Amino acid sequence: MIAVVFLVAITITAGTVLWTLSLSFPPPTTYVTYVAHAGLKVPAWGDPTDCIPVGWPPTPKATWSAAERSAATIDCNGSPPVGNFSVMNATEITFTSVTPSNLQLANVQFEFICHNSTNTTVLVGGSLAAMTWFPGSTTSPPPNAPHLGWCGNFHAGGFGGGAFGTLYNRLGLFVPIQHNVNVLAPGDTFILYVHTPGSIYDPACGPQGGPDCDDYHGAPPWCFSIPGACEIKILSTTGSGGLLADIQIYSISGANQ
């Protein structure tokens, strides 16, 4: 009888210990890897004011004929557009791995941050899901598409539509490797324009240049020439959140400048 009670006691004790020592595995860590390609040339997509219709010379819009305006509506505002866009210097940031594989674009935040001696500003910030509009994907950007703000003392948002009226795609745009897919995947790319003096319309930016003189695109040049001046932060906004990547713009300057 004593032996039976002792055996039961051992069984209960062992069961209790086993339950206490059961392992609790943490959720998968969220992280990404990427590679940056500098010194590229990319058309200034998404800006019909930086486009001329096929077969027409680069002249001020104020001098365009009705036929030229009609052609521009088709060539430069179409989906996809087929007009001749200014070619910009660019750096492409391509994701090479993503964990977990179901990381939603809506839960990945892109922030372009500028630093100077007096303050820190956010040039643009928004989810990758809100920055996926590009020519040929939809006819217009999503309603929550972010707009450009300040980069140090430079008011980028004042170009192309008044105070803070300039959409993110004057700085860059996110191009997923597969359209209509809502998760971040290897091969997805963010194209970052570098402001390049000279565009199709720059020679025409005189008294008759009109709105074509607003052709500001890309990150300010000093971001690529001054260490620590500008950075891109990629953050996860789901679960415990956290920093996925901190990309120093100076470190990916390559042959852009």
> Which of the pair, 129 or 89, is modelled with greater confidence?
129
Model confidence band, residue 13 (pLDDT cutoffs 50, 70, 90): very low
The DSSP secondary-structure symbol of 23 reads -
Q: What average pLDDT is seen over the chain?
A: 75
Residue 206 has which token pair? 């005189």
Say if residues 214 and 2 touch (Cβ distance below 8 Å).
no
- Structure letter (DSSP) for residue 217: -
Provide CB contacts within 8 A for 17, sequence distance 6+.
Answer: none
**Domain ranges across the chain:** 28-252
25 has a pLDDT exceeding 80: no
Q: Are 156 and 195 in contact (CB under 8 A)?
A: no
* CA–CA dist 19, 182 (Å, integer): 40
pLDDT, position 200: 47
Residue of 112 and 155 predicted with greater confidence: 112
pLDDT value at 156 more than 70: yes
pLDDT confidence of residue 154: 79
Is residue 93 within a helix (H) or strand (E), and if so which, with residue range?
A: strand 87-99
Pairing mode, strands 172-175 and 189-194: antiparallel
Distance separating alpha carbons of residues 159 and 248, to the nearest angstrom: 25
Q: In 3-state terms, the chain is what percent helix, strand and coil (to 5)?
A: 25, 30, 45
pLDDT in tens, 165-212: 678 888 888 989 888 889 999 999 999 988 665 554 444 444 444 344
Do the Cβ atoms of 236 and 99 come closer than 8 Å? no
Radius of gyration of the chain (CA): 26
Predicted confidence (pLDDT) per residue in 112-148, tens digit: 999 988 889 999 999 999 998 765 566 667 788 898 8
